[in-house]
């Protein structure tokens, strides 16, 4: 994917089937990985939280459960179609969740004040932004001192065997499944995006450069993905 509009269009196009495909492609496991990211973000009761690149809102909804009615959650994405689905899933007056503010915006230029959030999550977003260092700087800027962020994403595993398995899974399961829903190109981009995406170790180095003193990458799912946990001091 080369430019911002192209990325936006892809995520707008896949919005109607995105949740169904996630469940199918991960055998429902993405729900567990997202819960892990929320725990690692250390979001708690009464907190003000951000889910960056929120898409259809899975992580924002999990955050809302953690912060309760005294807290508040923002979900930010630049795909209007994904945000429309997120809005339809969050009915503030019929649930005990905190209200979620769905905001159209750019992860590279966040519309929030410095030192604003108690916790931030980001799921499968960092690999899709055009400028990873800039995104990490923005995350650092809007986090409060002592607050944490948890960034969940796929990456290439270091073990050659697991790399082979990941490629097989992408070529023979992910792309054909997406193809059945008329979305071949939209999912074929995952493999080249993984080739460009930093490894866990590289993500930690980029986080340090962005100003995070504490950065740890936890590999999960056979090291085919991981959670980068950041703390601002």
Ligand X SMILES: C[S@@+](CC[C@H](N)C(=O)[O-])C[C@H]1O[C@@H](n2cnc3c(N)ncnc32)[C@H](O)[C@@H]1O
Which residues of this chain interact with ligand X, rule CB under 6 A? 7, 11, 53-55, 58-59, 77-79, 82, 106-108, 123-125, 128-129
> Which residue of the chain is nearest ligand X when measured via CB?
55
- Nearer CB in complex with ligand X: 90/128: 128
- Nearer CB in complex with ligand X: 97/122: 122
Distance (Å, rounded) from C-alpha 160 to C-alpha 168? 12
CB of 107 to ligand X, least distance (A): 4
- Nearer CB in complex with ligand X: 17/108: 108
- 56: tokens are 């259809």
- 65: tokens are 């459960």
- Nearer CB in complex with ligand X: 47/58: 58
CB of 55 to ligand X, least distance (A): 2
Query: Do 120 and 48 contact (CB within 8 A), yes or no?
Result: no
CB of 20 to ligand X, least distance (A): 12
Query: Considering only CA atoms, which of 101, 106, 109, 114 is closest in space to residue 147?
Result: 114
- Nearer CB in complex with ligand X: 51/118: 51
CB of 161 to ligand X, least distance (A): 26
Distance (Å, rounded) from C-alpha 167 to C-alpha 169? 5
CB of 65 to ligand X, least distance (A): 16
CB of 216 to ligand X, least distance (A): 20
Query: Do 221 and 137 contact (CB within 8 A), yes or no?
Result: no
Which residue reads 């019929």 in tokens? 94
Which residues 6+ apart lie within 8 Å of 189 measured at CB? 1, 10
- Nearer CB in complex with ligand X: 23/214: 23
Map residue 164 onto helix, strand or coil: helix
CB of 35 to ligand X, least distance (A): 12
In terms of DSSP H, where are the helices of the chain?
A: 4-26, 29-41, 58-67, 80-89, 132-142, 160-169, 175-180, 184-188, 190-196, 200-209
Distance (Å, rounded) from C-alpha 138 to C-alpha 116? 11
- Nearer CB in complex with ligand X: 66/77: 77
């Amino acid at each position: 994917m080369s430019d911002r509009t192209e990325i936006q269009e892809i995520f707008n196009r896949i919005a109607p089937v995105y949740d169904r495909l996630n469940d199918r492609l991960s055998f429902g496991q993405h729900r567990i990985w997202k819960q892990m990211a929320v725990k690692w973000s250390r979001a708690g009761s009464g907190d003000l939280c951000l889910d960056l690149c929120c898409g259809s809102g899975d992580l924002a909804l999990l955050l809302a459960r953690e912060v309760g009615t005294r807290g508040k959650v923002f979900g930010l994405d630049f795909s209007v179609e994904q945000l429309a689905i997120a809005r339809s899933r969050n009915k503030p007056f019929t649930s005990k969740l905190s209200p979620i503010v769905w905001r159209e915006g750019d992860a590279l230029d966040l519309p929030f004040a410095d030192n604003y959030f108690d916790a931030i999550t980001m799921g499968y977003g960092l690999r899709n932004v055009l400028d990873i260092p800039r995104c990490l700087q923005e995350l650092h800027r809007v986090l409060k001192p002592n607050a944490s962020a948890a960034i969940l994403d796929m990456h290439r595993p270091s073990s050659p065997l697991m790399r082979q398995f990941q490629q097989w899974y992408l070529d023979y399961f992910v792309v054909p499944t997406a193809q059945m829903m008329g979305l071949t190109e939209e999912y074929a981009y995952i493999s080249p995006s993984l080739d460009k995406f930093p490894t866990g170790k590289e993500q930690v180095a980029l986080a340090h450069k962005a100003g995070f003193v504490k950065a740890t990458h936890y590999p999960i799912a056979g090291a085919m993905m991981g959670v980068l946990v950041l703390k601002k001091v």
